[in-house]
Chain A
Amino acid sequence: MWLPLLGLALGVSLGLLSDIQIPQIYDNYLSIAVLAALDTLFGGIRAYLQQVYDDKVFISGFFFNIALAAALAFLGVHLGVDLYLAAIFAFGVRLFQNIAVIRRIMLVKWTEKGKVSNTNEP
């Protein structure tokens, strides 16, 4: 549980300390990539909780989603259509759905745990 959080903290501090900046024109790509990464991450957590987690799906999904989102944004820039909005919409909706599912599973687990501890009591 703590290891992934440590990874997150490490990543954030690495990013902040290295003071890397990307040019303004690539802002869109990175923001959408971050969104895609978050979507995949929460998808992974959900799959893990539902016990349907698959390594290959998770890892490939992570990179593929990022690449797809960036590619959509790139295409959108060149076609003059804000295609990145489509990606934002899709990822945003999925993010909310995934978090909702995670919340429900957690709630169910929590209530079950409470019941079990209640029945165990003399």
Chain B
Amino acid sequence: MKKTIHWKFTLILLLVGFMTAVQFNSMKNPEKRDTRDVWAIRQDLATEKQIHSEMLSEIRELDKTILTYRSLNDENTGRALAQTVDKLHRQAGVTDIEGPGIVIKVEPSAESAALGIPITGISPELLTRFVNELNRFKGLIFEIDGKRYTILSSIRDINGMTTVNGLNVSTPPFTMKIVSPTFADSEKLYSYLAASTIHDDFYLDDLILEVGKPKQAVEIRGYSDRIENQFLKELPKGE
């Protein structure tokens, strides 16, 4: 008799323990409360959607490449590969490019000239800030004082001189060129820069930013140095 009671108690206690543990789990687990409001969630959703659409277009592009490879016979394979290499060169920024864009002049401010303040070069921090500001827009290609800015470029201070790709940036005035994918993008960029607070940052350094009107054809030179490839390795050739 006593044994059966023990068994029943065990069973009931097992159930109680399980229920308590589940309750404990449910109470404990939302450790971090989601405090986003509807707009924050919408914004996150918009970001995700943008990533989605970018990925889709990338997939489409790659599909197109695959299709080109498939449709070609052996004689044309070399040409297709050369096309791909060209495209990659263009993406890496080693080729000259021409397209719709704007030209920006960096000049000493009128006040500094009037007061006789010595003109100093642009600081790397300010230049980086400007580049970051430009990078809000996708697909822009730009050149700072004749130096092509690529994904591998660096803006640094070398012995007190601001450099891009290791080459000195001249003391203002100098020009910067920006090429955008379409003319409409150039116009958008122009409007954005016209209203941007980056002008204030330049003005603090006694410089002014003269943003030119969008042009149909702006030419940018390619990255002249050899691109060093430290991490990617060639795969052994397959049969």
Q: List the interface of chain A (C-beta within 8 A of B).
A: 3-16, 19-22, 24, 27, 30-31, 33-34, 37-38, 40-41, 44-45, 48, 53, 55, 58-59, 62
User: Are B26 and A16 within 8 A (Cβ)?
Assistant: no
**How many A-B Cβ pairs are below 8 Å?**
101
Q: Let me know if B14 and A11 touch, CB within 8 A.
A: yes
A44 touches B18 (CB 8 A): no
For the complex, give the distance between the alpha carbons of A5 and B16 in Å: 11
Q: Which of B1-9, B50-58, B93-101 contacts A (4 or more CB under 8 A)?
A: B1-9
Are A34 and B23 in contact, CB atoms less than 8 angstroms apart? yes
Residues A10 and B12 in contact, CB atoms below 8 Å apart: no
Question: Does the CB pair A7–B21 fall under 8 Å?
Answer: no
Q: Taking CB as reference atom, which chain A residue is nearest B6? A: A3
Query: Which of A15, A19, A34, A58 lies in contact with B8, CB distance below 8 A?
Result: A58
Query: Which of B7, B14, B18, B27 gathers the greatest number of chain A CB atoms within 10 Å?
Result: B18
**Which B13-46 residues have C-beta < 8 A from chain A?**
13-27, 29-30
Q: How large is the interface on B (under 10, 10 to 19, 20 to 34, 35 or more residues)?
A: 20 to 34
Give the docked Cα–Cα distance between A5 and B17 (Å).
Answer: 10
B178 CB to closest chain A CB, in angstroms? 51
Contact B26 A12 (CB under 8 A): no
- The residue in chain B whose Cβ has the minimal distance to the Cβ of A1 is B6
Docked-complex contact B15 and A14, CB < 8 angstroms: no
C-alpha spacing A11/B26, complex, angstroms: 16
CB-CB under 8 A from B25, the residues of chain A are 15-16, 19-21
Q: Among B7, B15, B20, B30, which residue has its beta carbon within 8 angstroms of that of A3? A: B7
Q: Which residues of B contact A22 (CB under 8 A)?
A: 22-23, 26
Query: When chains A and B are docked, how far (Å) is the Cα of A40 from the Cα of B20?
Result: 15
Q: How far is the CB of A112 from chain B (nearest CB, A)?
A: 20
Please give, as numbers and ranges, the residues of chain A lying within 8 Å of B5 by CB-CB distance: 48, 53, 55
Main secondary structure of the interface of A (DSSP, over half): helix
Given the known interface contacts A6-B10, A55-B8, A62-B12, the answer about A37 and B19 at a Cβ–Cβ threshold of 8 Å is yes
Residues of B within 8 A of A (CB): 4-27, 29-30
Residue of A nearest to B10 (CB): A7
Contact A15–B13 (Cβ < 8 Å): no
- Expressed in whole angstroms, the Cα–Cα distance for A34 and B22 within the complex equals 10
- Would you call A27 and B22 a contact (CB within 8 A)? no
Give the most central of A6, A7, A22, A37: most B CB within 10 Å.
A7
Known: A22-B26, A24-B26, A55-B4. A7 touches B19 (CB 8 A): no
A20 to B24 Cα, complex, angstroms:
10
Q: Which residues of A contact B4 (CB under 8 A)?
A: 55
A40's partner among B7, B11, B12, B14 (CB-CB below 8 A) is B12
Q: Could you list some 11 contacts between A and B, CB below 8 A?
A: A4-B10, A4-B13, A6-B10, A7-B13, A8-B17, A15-B17, A21-B26, A22-B26, A34-B16, A55-B4, A62-B12
CA distance A9 to B29 in the complex (A): 21
B15 touches A37 (CB 8 A): yes
Most buried by B among A4, A14, A58: A4
- Inter-chain contacts of A6 with B (CB < 8 A): 10
Complex CA distance for A53 and B6, rounded to whole angstroms: 12
Nearest residue (CB) in A for B9 is A4
A12 surroundings in chain B (CB, below 8 A): 17-18, 20-21
> Closest 7 A-B residue pairs measured CB to CB?
A15-B21, A11-B17, A7-B10, A11-B14, A12-B17, A11-B18, A7-B14
